[in-house]
Amino acid sequence: MKGKVLAVNVSVNKGERKTPVAEVTLREEHGIVGDAHAGDWHRQVSLLAMESIEKMKALGLQVGEGDFAENITTEGVDLVHLPLGTRLTLGETLLEVTQIGKECHTRCAIYYQAGDCVMPKEGIFARVITGGVVRPGDDVVVQ
């Protein structure tokens, strides 16, 4: 299965939308350099499919890449159905899926705007096995 990276997104603080940037550097066992969610834990990088974002657009929301606080927006890979432990190459990096979805303990800005959020149900999380640079347009390959 092969898809594409549509956007790479970062934020300084947790609980806010992320801003699309030209490229990100992923550091092994850390996450995206300069991103609020990076660190020594199992949710170093978050991914959300554009197909999930399109569901929210269909509800009339004006949302796009990074608006659900995802680090990497993809297209063409059914992220939510990947088994835990699946490895993905994105550009020159290697990620391992560690969690599908998440429990939202607090309501984020997206929830208040939309009345719902796809990230808890359809976002996935990964740890960085091999670091490197990821840019929009890079291939996403399921190992």
Angle subtended at Cα 125 by Cα 120 and Cα 126, rounded to the nearest 5 degrees: 175
∠99-132-23 over CA atoms, to 5°? 90
Q: Residues 77-136: pLDDT tens digits?
A: 999 999 999 999 999 999 999 999 866 656 666 666 666 666 668 899 999 999 999 999
- What average pLDDT does range 18-33 have in this prediction? 97
Predicted local distance difference test score (pLDDT) of residue 73: 98
Which tens digits make up the pLDDT trace of 40-68? 999 999 999 999 999 888 888 888 999 88
* Res 68: pLDDT: 85
More confident residue, 74 or 61: 74
The two beta strands, 124-130 and 93-100, are antiparallel
Residue 69 confidence (pLDDT): 85
Total-model pTM: 0.91
Extract the tokens encoding 49: 């499919």
Q: State the sign of the Cα–Cα–Cα–Cα dihedral 24, 33, 89, 14.
A: negative
Give burial (CB, 10 Å; 0-12/13-18/19+) of 58: exposed
